[in-house]
Amino acid sequence: MDLMPNVKGTRDLLPSESVIWARVEETARRVFSLYGYGEIRTPVLEHTELFVRTVGESTDIVGKEMYTFEDRKGRSLTLRPESTAAVARAFVDHRLGEQPLPVKLFYMGPHFRYERPQKGRYREFHQIGAELLGDPGPASDAEVIRMLVGFLEELGFEDLTVLLHTVGDQETREAYRAALVEFFAPLAEQLSSESRKRLERNPLRILDTKDSAERELLIDAPKLEDSLSAGSREHFAGVRSALDRLGVKYRVDPGLVRGLDYYTLTVFEIVSEGLGAQNAIVGGGRYDRLLADLGGPDLPAIGFAIGLDRLVESLPAAFRDRCTQAPAVRLIAIDPVPKLAAMELGEELRARGVAAVVDFGNDRMKAALKRAHRSGARYVLLLGEDELAKNAVTCRDLNAGEQSLVPRSEIVGLLHNRLRNQIKGQIKGQIEGQIEGQPAGQPGRQRGEGEA
RNA sequence: GUGAGCGUAGCUCAAUCGGUAGAGCACUUGAUUGUGGUUCAAGUGGUUGGGGGUUCAAGUCCCCUCGCUCACCCCA
Residue numbers of the domain that contains A163: 15-169+229-319
Instruction: With respect to residue A440, please indicate whether it lies within any of the assigned structural domains.
Output: no
Nucleotides of B under 7 A from a protein CB: 1-3, 27-29, 32, 34-37, 49-50, 67-76
Residues A298 and A340 in one domain: no
For chain A, the helix, strand and coil percentages under 3-state DSSP, each to the nearest 5: 45, 20, 35
Instruction: With respect to residue A62, please indicate whether it lies within any of the assigned structural domains.
Output: yes
- Helices in A376-407 by DSSP H: which ranges? 385-390
- The pLDDT of residue A431 is 40
- The CATH number of whichever domain residue A159 belongs to comes to 3.30.930.10
Residues A241 and A335 in one domain: no
Residues A271 and A410 in one domain: no
Instruction: With respect to residue A331, please indicate whether it lies within any of the assigned structural domains.
Output: yes
Instruction: With respect to residue A294, please indicate whether it lies within any of the assigned structural domains.
Output: yes
Residues A56 and A93 in one domain: yes
- The pLDDT of residue A421 is 63
ipTM for the predicted complex: 0.86
Instruction: With respect to residue A443, please indicate whether it lies within any of the assigned structural domains.
Output: no
Instruction: With respect to residue A257, please indicate whether it lies within any of the assigned structural domains.
Output: yes
Residues A298 and A404 in one domain: no
Residues A374 and A314 in one domain: no
Question: How many domains is chain A partitioned into structurally?
Answer: 2
Q: Cα–Cα distance between A206 and A215 in angstroms, integer?
A: 9
- The CATH number of whichever domain residue A350 belongs to comes to 3.40.50.800
Which of the nucleotides lies closest to A369 (Cα–C1')?
A: B36
Instruction: With respect to residue A370, please indicate whether it lies within any of the assigned structural domains.
Output: yes
Residues A257 and A362 in one domain: no
- The pLDDT of residue A14 is 85
Q: Which of A319, A351, A382 is the last residue of a domain?
A: A319
Residues A307 and A331 in one domain: no
Which amino acid type is present at position A302? Answer: I
CA(A374)–C1'(B22) in Å? 29
Which amino acid type is present at position A253? Answer: D
Q: Which of A263, A295, A319 is the last residue of a domain?
A: A319
| CA angle centred on A368, ends A363 and A373, rounded to 5° | 160
- The pLDDT of residue A1 is 45
Which of the nucleotides lies closest to A383 (Cα–C1')?
A: B34
Which of the nucleotides lies closest to A282 (Cα–C1')?
A: B76
DSSP secondary structure string for all residues of A188-236: GGGS-HHHHHHHHH-GGGGGG---HHHHHHHHTSPPHHHH--HHHHHHH
Residues A133 and A266 in one domain: yes
| Residue numbers in chain A where pLDDT is lower than 50 | 1, 423-452
Residues A329 and A314 in one domain: no
